[in-house]
Structure 1
Amino acid sequence: MNKNIDTIPFKQALWYWFKLGFISFGGPAGQISMMHQELVEKRKWISEQRFLHALNYCMVLPGPEAQQLATYIGWLMHGVSGGIAAGVLFVLPSLFILIALTWSYLVFNDVPAVSGILYGIKPAVTAIIVFAAYRIGSRTLSNRYLKLIAALSFFAIFALNIPFPLIVLGAGVLGWLGAHCFPNQFHISEHPANSINSFGPAIIDDHTSMPGHAKFTWSKIYKTGLTGFGIWASLILVLLINFGRHNLLTQMAWFFTKAALLTFGGAYAVLPYVYQGGVGHFYWLTGTQMMDGLALGETTPGPLIMIVAFVGFVGGWNHPVFETNSLVWSGIAAASIATLFTFLPSFLFILIGGPLVEATRDDLKMTAPLKGITAAVVGVILNLAVFFAWHVLWPLNFNGPFDVFSALTGTVAFVLLFKFKRGMVTVIGLSAILGLLYSLLITN
């Protein structure tokens, strides 16, 4: 029986996206797991199969996959306005928080209490990523072929350092081959284990009729593409007219547009490019400041790629763009420009590609490669968990002692998530308190 997607109130969805923007800790893995737990398991707004189908598409795109997934689901529920609202609210709180933290970082430099809180949060973030790998893997790796793809993906990125775009391409090819060699393993009617029995029917279920705004037409694609390009070109033109080609804001707009188109594989894939440009070419900030910004980005809600707001603020602070020489307003303007031009392409990818993805949802030729990509993503998430654990447990890269406190905090966080089913906000809050108390104890 078809359902009406409009049964999800727009105001209720807005409130959820607003709340998510403040609690979306844990990087993309944690954020995706958080959305799955809330939207699929608890609220039952969308079925697991449709959630994963959207996730597969977002994984292929350049840009922050968790923010794009929120945009996609918002668009599927309430059209263009829903997609824009979900994507903006996912990012906006993080922008405000990072602006405040970056200002505090530049003015106060080192606050012991803040350092202690961040120290406690890091192992909790690691536990969230490990838990996300388990949750997504347990529901998507439904046969040995997909488990093999996940293992190969982990080995490729961990041991061979193969770029993520190549891993995605290889996984898609393996999924396509698997569909031809083992079609029963990739059939579109297959659901992840126990998903139906666990969660029950959803408002946007596997057989819910496609809403009008999600139907594919070439005219809609052309209109959306031209509108998006027009918005980008108009903003660039405004910056050129008011500030000139060599002004900091204009340079950042162009630089972060290019960065947005190179972010295959998430923030870690593009960080070397941002580092090279921001530190080595434009001298917006120092290498030490860049690393400090990464630490802030890892422990604040929102996509990790929001480190671009830190880079922008520090660049505006170090190179004021206004005649009044206001460092704060220069920093805010630069952080806003960096964020806007980093995320604008993400909205276009979803609003242009969404109808095509929905139109191919029942096409095995399209879904099988995407299943292979999802399997590869599990391996990549596991690699990210290893990366975090390594740097949290051995802060000096094996040249120093093993961090016992971080190991205990991370273990407690994982047990709370896995065994006691505690929410991520609760786990992060408890870990932050433990980190603060421990830092106060060792300094007194």
Structure 2
Amino acid sequence: MQEAGFRGPTLAELTRVFARIGCLSFGGPAGQIALMQRELVDERAWVDQGAFLRALNLCHLLPGPEAQQLATWIGWRLHGSRGGLIAGLLFVLPGAAIMLALSLLYVAAAGLSWFAALFLGIKAAVLAVVLQALLRVGKRALGTQFKLVLAVVAALSLTLLHTPFPLVILCAGLIGAAAAQLAPEWLGKHHAVATGAPLAPPSQLFGMTVRTVAVWLMIWALPLAAVFLLLGPQHVLWQIGLFFSRLAVVTFGGAYAVLAYMAQAAVSGFGWLSPGEMADGLGLAETTPGPLIMVTQFVGFIAAWRHPGSLSPLTAGLLGAGLTTWVTFAPCFLWIFACAPWMERLERAERLQGALAAITAAVVGVIANLALWFALHVLFRRVSEAGMPDPGSLDWRAALIAALAALLLFGFKRGIAMTMAVCAATGLALSLAPLG
């Protein structure tokens, strides 16, 4: 897996470094990838720059958080499956533990006026954070007019036609694959590479891949089977496990891309939580280390806490959080361990890279839809089922804090953690003011 003569880290060294990365991986995928670049490429030279970038490009092809999958791939490259498990788990566990603690605090403090005021500021700040993500992804993804059209069509399909998110992603991928063959200039540069190095024959890889997929499908399904047998298909835990398993297959383009789909299903479809609580969960996820998709754990915890069935709310909430985390991240190990031996072949697939470029462009439209959804439900106290806000229900405090968050992020270039803290404090201060 590494070049001849390369002396990589011991398993203990790899564990220590990834434990450090897992605790410091704030700032979303950009910050997390930059941290791994510094720690693993620049300072320790455990992975060369070219391999790091090519693996990152391929991780964008896979559903799930690309930074966590990149960490898993680096661990696999250095120490096989054991290294991949250690690196991937340590990238997730610190954030998962913190999110669980914050979820417990959230339900314990629900109804307290100071807590509601605190989260007024956090929810309003989330609007500016999502807008920042939209601009960053758009700047990187929309390099041609064709990609811009894809983004606009995706946004309109979701907002006006209520097209299912997976269908939008599937259509974008098919269009991109066709464009890569027929009119590659429409997509600009989309990173297919041809190193000229010999490729391992498929016959050597196929058996390994089948065994890997079989093992990880069983690992993925094991807790779902236990819930089905012990609690039955009507229990909320079965619904949670099934929904987030489906979500794990369609999370292309990062967490922001799938949040609109998840929020609409969790709020309008299942009725597990309110739009404001969904924004609260995203705010919590923004302040913890690890992948932003950890917000799914918050949703699973709240859903099970409120619909415990024969279990106590605490037991159901803990099981909901654990099950959600399991079915969200177990597939990431499946994708990496199954695809890693094929990486060099995949990175030369022109149509596959074209599909990725088109999906990334469509994701910009998905994030725009998410930004609009959050804005309506945070800034207005009443929104119709058709998605139209009542102008008289505008919350001036939320609008003021959102503007402050935008000023901090865009004007003063402050980080997300500081922006969240300032906006939370402002929410507390403004809670003394009447709604008007």
For this structure pair, what is the TM-score category when the shorter chain's length is used for normalisation? 0.7 to 0.9
From 233, 244, 254, the equivalent of 1:260 is 244
CA distance in 2, matches of 1:250, 1:156: 32
Gaps of 5+ in 1: 25-30, 192-204, 280-286, 321-325
| C-alpha RMSD of the superposition | 4.1
Cα deviation 1:4-49 (Å, max 9, x = unaligned): 79589733343222333xx46xxxxxx3344456556999776796
CA distance in 2, matches of 1:340, 1:260: 9
CA distance in 1, matches of 2:167, 2:221: 31
CA distance in 1, matches of 2:206, 2:191: 31
CA distance in 2, matches of 1:6, 1:394: 55
Change (3 A) 1:253 1:289: closer
Change (3 A) 1:411 1:357: farther
CA contact (8 A) 1:99 1:313 kept: no
Q: Specify the alignment match of 1:12 in structure 2.
A: 17
CA distance in 2, matches of 1:51, 1:158: 33
How far is 1:111 from its partner?
1.6
Matched, 1:308 2:300: yes
Given the two structures, how large is their TM-score scaled by the length of structure 2?
0.74
From 366, 387, 399, the equivalent of 1:380 is 366
Q: How does 1:85-234 map to 2 (within 5 A)?
A: 85=86, 87-89=88-90, 91-93=92-94, 95-186=96-187, 217-232=205-220
How far is 1:88 from its partner?
3.6
Which segment is superposed worse, 165-174 or 432-441? 432-441
CA distance in 2, matches of 1:154, 1:120: 27
CA contact (8 A) 2:121 2:401 kept: yes
Q: Specify the alignment match of 1:56 in structure 2.
A: 60
Q: Specify the alignment match of 1:364 in structure 2.
A: 350
CA distance in 1, matches of 2:96, 2:132: 26
How far is 1:427 from its partner?
1.4
How far is 1:419 from its partner?
3.6
Matched, 1:75 2:72: yes
Given the two structures, how large is their TM-score scaled by the length of structure 1?
0.73
From 421, 424, 429, the equivalent of 1:437 is 429
CA distance in 2, matches of 1:395, 1:37: 39
Q: Percent identity?
A: 24
Q: How does 1:276-295 map to 2 (within 5 A)?
A: 287=271, 294-295=278-279
Change (3 A) 1:338 1:184: closer
How far is 1:138 from its partner?
0.9
Tell me the amino acid that sits aligned with residue 437 of structure 1.
A
Q: Specify the alignment match of 1:319 in structure 2.
A: 310
Tell me the amino acid that sits aligned with residue 19 of structure 1.
L
Change (3 A) 1:349 1:70: same
How far is 1:99 from its partner?
4.0
Change (3 A) 1:331 1:254: closer
CA distance in 2, matches of 1:5, 1:131: 41
SS of match in other structure, 2:284: coil
How far is 1:261 from its partner?
3.6
Change (3 A) 1:268 1:229: same
CA distance in 1, matches of 2:323, 2:190: 44
CA distance in 1, matches of 2:143, 2:276: 40
Q: Specify the alignment match of 2:283 in structure 1.
A: 299
SS of match in other structure, 2:60: helix
Tell me the amino acid that sits aligned with residue 378 of structure 2.
V
Q: Specify the alignment match of 2:288 in structure 1.
A: none
Q: What is the aligned length?
A: 394
Q: Specify the alignment match of 2:418 in structure 1.
A: 426
CA contact (8 A) 1:70 1:83 kept: no
Q: Specify the alignment match of 1:202 in structure 2.
A: none
Which segment is superposed worse, 80-89 or 166-175? 80-89
CA distance in 2, matches of 1:5, 1:379: 45
CA distance in 1, matches of 2:147, 2:18: 33
Tell me the amino acid that sits aligned with residue 222 of structure 1.
V
CA contact (8 A) 1:311 1:335 kept: no
Change (3 A) 1:413 1:103: closer
CA distance in 2, matches of 1:260, 1:289: 15
CA distance in 1, matches of 2:166, 2:316: 35
